[in-house]
Amino acid sequence: MGDLLIFVNFYLLPGLVLGSIYALGAIGVSLVFGILRFAHFAHGDMMTLGAYLALTVVAVTGANPMLALPLAMIGTAIIALGIDRWFYKPFHDKSTIVLVIASFGIALMLRSLIRVIWGVEIESYSVGISRPLVFFDSLRIAERHIWIIGSTVVLMLIVHWLLTRTRTGKAMRAVSDSPELARLTGIPTERVIKATWMLGAALAAAAGVFVGWDTQLQTTMGWNLLLPIFASAILGGIGRPYGAMAGGMVIGLAEELSTYPWIGTEPLLSPGYKTGIAFAIMVVMLIWRPAGLLRGRVY
Amino acid sequence: MTVLTLRGVTAGYGDDAPILHDVSLDLQPGEVVAIIGPNGAGKSTAMKAVFGLLHLHGGQVWLGDEEITGEPPERVVARGVCFVPQTENVFPNLTVQENLEMGAYILTGPLDDRLDHVYGLFPPLLEKRNQAAGTLSGGQRQMVALGRALMLDPKVLMLDEPTAGLSPAYAQQIFELIGRINGAGTPIMMVEQNARQALSVAHRGYVLVDGRNRHQGTGADLIADPEVARMFLGG
């Protein structure tokens, strides 16, 4: 197998898959931060929730995870609305640190609830080994990777359409720009907040399903992805959904490509340090350009 | 009938000491009313009191014959009172057209007529309509802010220092537009730093000092008043 094919099969494609997952999670984190002004630490566990909802659909119907995806997204969006209604909304007029702490609480509650309902065993959507599709004799792509990257592209186009073509989407950008002016303009902030939760949670659920499909389902899967997802949102600029998409892709690719033997024959970075990449990028961005690549808000 | 009335309003931010003390203002149909006074006199605060953005310790706000004291801003806007704040008065990452559309958020149905009307008042905005509002010059941004407020065809227009930070030429243009908008029948209440010009466009004026009513009268009377002239009009 040529060097290029090794690069594509084992570094570039996994990087794009990881980037898709980070991007989908980061859009929600960035929107919630932009509109509700707090770091939502339960976002990772919303991803886990989406993944496990899809697991139930897959187990009951025997369907492909792709078919379970829309149901998992809708279910997670509804649960997020409930969480906002009963746990976050009562604190809307409090200082944002109260909401941050509340979201920590929600993260713990969601994870415990998932353990109670689905158990603590490691789960998987499929049994057995699926053979990758082979193109041009040697380009091997797992079918799920095509689905994951393809659906991410579709979801991002939908997000773009929502934010630029629909009234509520434009209002979300307006509230993110200036909440005070939005109120003075007559935009119903509560409705915008609900839309934000639905969109953010649905995308988080999609990211969760993709993680579970690509690897396996564990109750800590979402929590463990929180750091790279926040790093992606910060890299792109807080409150900038397009920045979050780009930031997620950059960090996903950077993590995977950092282990490629760029110099000599040894991996540039030992795979054990892969997760440090996101942290390093976040630290550098916060020092060098805290507003992010797309000039988001600085608090 | 009076369009907008503030009656004995005492108000401030949160539970802090009030900034306004027993302030009364009114706006009659078809009028332009200017509120002038030194920095920190509570001019902008008086406008915010109409939008429920303050803590009212006392007094009432009436729109026509309906009391709107303490109503949240979105309700007041829905009643047809539109406000252009002094700073941060556009959504910088939205295009010019999206800014205007947000002004009419509460309207359902097509906005083409309203957009045509606003682009008619501010022709320079038409060619920039797909540009982010944050990239415009100060004067054009002020046009976007005014246009956004006019999208609803407001019953009352409230402007907080519409010419602050603008070049004299642009300020002149904004004052002319204010005259035209008012000429079409919209009553306007504005706070202005630029006292002489504001009083010359306004039918009536109020002078606020230390959060209290100090003088009131027609624009011409206030310009002629020696004390007002000495304090705010530069001699």
Reported ipTM: the value is 0.89
What is chain B's mean pLDDT, rounded? 91
Residues in chain B within 8 Å Cβ distance of A177: 91-94
Choose the closest CB to B93 out of A173, A183, A188. A173
Q: How confident is the model at residue A130 (pLDDT cuts 50, 70, 90)?
A: low
pLDDT score recorded for residue B109: 83
Mention every residue, 6+ apart, whose C-beta is less than 8 A from residue A249. A16, A19, A20, A22, A23
Condensed to tens digits (0 to 9), the pLDDT of residues A110-120 reads 999 999 999 99
- Which residue of chain B has the CA closest to A171? B102
Choose the closest CB to B102 out of A170, A176, A189. A170
- Which residue of chain B has the CA closest to A296? B93
Q: How far is A100 from chain B, CA to nearest CA, in Å?
A: 23
Q: Are B9 and B62 in contact (CB under 8 A)?
A: no
More confident residue, A297 or A168: A168
Residue boundaries of the structural domains of chain B:
1-80+155-235, 89-153
Q: How confident is the model at residue B234 (pLDDT cuts 50, 70, 90)?
A: low
pLDDT score recorded for residue A299: 55
pLDDT score recorded for residue A94: 85
Note whether A174 contacts B102, CB cutoff 8 Å: yes
Q: Count of A–B CB contacts within 8 Å?
A: 60
Mention every residue, 6+ apart, whose C-beta is less than 8 A from residue B214. B37, B207, B208
Q: How confident is the model at residue B235 (pLDDT cuts 50, 70, 90)?
A: very low
pLDDT score recorded for residue A92: 83
Return the beta strands (E) in chain B as ranges: 4-12, 20-27, 32-36, 55-63, 66-67, 81-84, 156-160, 188-191, 204-209, 212-218
Alpha carbon dihedral B202, B196, B215, B47, in 10-degree steps, equals: 60
Residues in chain A within 8 Å Cβ distance of B78: 186
How many whole angstroms separate alpha carbon A107 and alpha carbon A43? 8
Note whether A185 contacts B103, CB cutoff 8 Å: yes
Condensed to tens digits (0 to 9), the pLDDT of residues B184-232 reads 999 999 999 888 889 889 999 999 998 899 889 898 888 888 888 887 7
Condensed to tens digits (0 to 9), the pLDDT of residues B14-29 reads 777 889 999 999 999 9
Three-state SS at A269: coil
**Does A36 score more than 60 pLDDT?**
yes
What CATH code would you report for B1-80+155-235?
3.40.50.300
Kindly report the backbone phi and psi dihedral angles of residue B46, in degrees, each rounded to the nearest multiple of 5, phi listed first. Answer: -60, -35
Is the CB of B225 inside 8 Å of chain A's CB atoms?
Answer: no
Lowest model confidence (mean pLDDT) among A10-14, A77-81, B3-7: A10-14
Q: How far is B221 from chain A, CA to nearest CA, in Å?
A: 33
Q: How far is B91 from chain A, CA to nearest CA, in Å?
A: 6
Choose the closest CB to B91 out of A167, A178, A183. A178
Q: How confident is the model at residue A288 (pLDDT cuts 50, 70, 90)?
A: confident
Residues in chain B within 8 Å Cβ distance of A185: 77, 102-103, 105, 148
Chain A residues whose C-beta is within 8 A of a chain B C-beta are: 167, 170-171, 173-174, 176-178, 180-189
Average pLDDT estimate for A203-230: 96
Instruction: Return the axis-axis angle of helices A276-288 and A226-236, rounded to nearest 10°.
Output: 30
Residue boundaries of the structural domains of chain A:
3-124+156-288
- Which residue of chain A has the CA closest to B79? A186
Pick the CATH number of A3-124+156-288 from 1.10.10, 1.10.3470, 1.20.120, 2.40.128: 1.10.3470
Residues in chain A within 8 Å Cβ distance of B51: 184
Note whether B101 contacts A167, CB cutoff 8 Å: yes
